[in-house]
Amino acid sequence: MRTLLISDLHLQASNPALTSLAFSLFDKIAKDCNRLYILGDLFEYWIGDDACDHTATEVGNRLSSLSRSGVDIFVMHGNRDFLLGRQFVESFGGELLDTDSIIVELASNPTLLMHGDTLCTDDSQYQFYRRMVRNRGWQTDFLAKTVSEREATARMVRSTSQAHGQRAHTNNIADINEGTLHETILEANTTRIMHGHTHRPALHSHMIQNRKVERMVLGDWHDDHAVVALSDNKNCELLQWNGEALKPI
């Protein structure tokens, strides 16, 4: 079983280089995998399945080709594309994981997969915002607005989010909370966790109740490289993709 895992692509029409890098990974690596997991923030923002732009349509078409070739595709919500719906995901043959976490077998080891934002509990302002926008009532009201109204709101939220993100990193509250990590691992009863969101790709080791726990953090995407994870029956490792080949980080 060969599995590719990615997160935080933040694809958007204003940055075609990111889309090209993603397509190169799909064409050269994902096509030879059994499974593809997208652990949140496939897109920079998402205001509804009825508001797909050209980039989203291209991405859907490319993922549809992957799905038709036999690759199982699983998509998790991120903090940017939390409104991604089943209509869009199922249009390319994928499965929307409408949950904060899931346990899958990677290299013979049960692994907890998450976007990662629920681990960052020191950032109370973001957690308040997250609870608000994940509320079904809020989402229903938002999706009832016109596309132009939603776009205006999204631009305002993105601007506020970018400013808050800079302050959060400066104040060191944008990374995970160790206590929350421990609680999450104990509840899941696993010894490996993989997530994105923090934009701090690395392999970490934690001791939780005398058990060594591996934490693999996927990276956010840049124009010319991205940190992804690849797993087979024996190994699960973080690798850097440069558009041509996977290399150790």
Distances (CA, A) of 60 to 68, 77, 85, 128, 189: 12, 16, 13, 31, 35
In the prediction, which pLDDT does 160 show? 76
Domain with 78, as residue range(s), is 3-248
Segment holding 43, helix H or strand E: none
- Order across the sheet with 246-248: list the strands: 95-97, 72-76, 35-39, 3-6, 226-231, 236-241, 246-248
Return the pLDDT at 60: 98
The pTM for the full model equals 0.94
Question: For position 155, what pLDDT does the model report?
Answer: 86
Residues making up the chain, counted from first to last: 249
Cα three-residue angle 9-77-93, rounded to 5 degrees: 85
Specify the CATH number for the domain of residue 66.
3.60.21.10
pLDDT score for 34? 98
How many contiguous H segments (helices) and E segments (strands) does the chain have? 7, 12
Q: Looking at the 3D structure of the chain, how many domains does it have?
A: 1
How much is the pLDDT for 97?
A: 97
Tens of pLDDT, residues 40-94: 999 999 999 999 999 999 999 999 999 999 999 999 999 999 999 999 999 999 9
Residues 6+ apart with CB under 8 A from 29: 4, 230, 241, 246
Name the residue among 34, 24, 41, 40 with its Cα closest to residue 4: 34
Q: What is the pLDDT of residue 165?
A: 58
Question: Angle between the 147-170 and 136-143 helix axes, to the nearest 10 degrees?
Answer: 130
Please state, as a whole number, how many other Cβ atoms lie within 10 Å of the Cβ of residue 125. 11
**pLDDT beneath 50, residues of the chain:** none
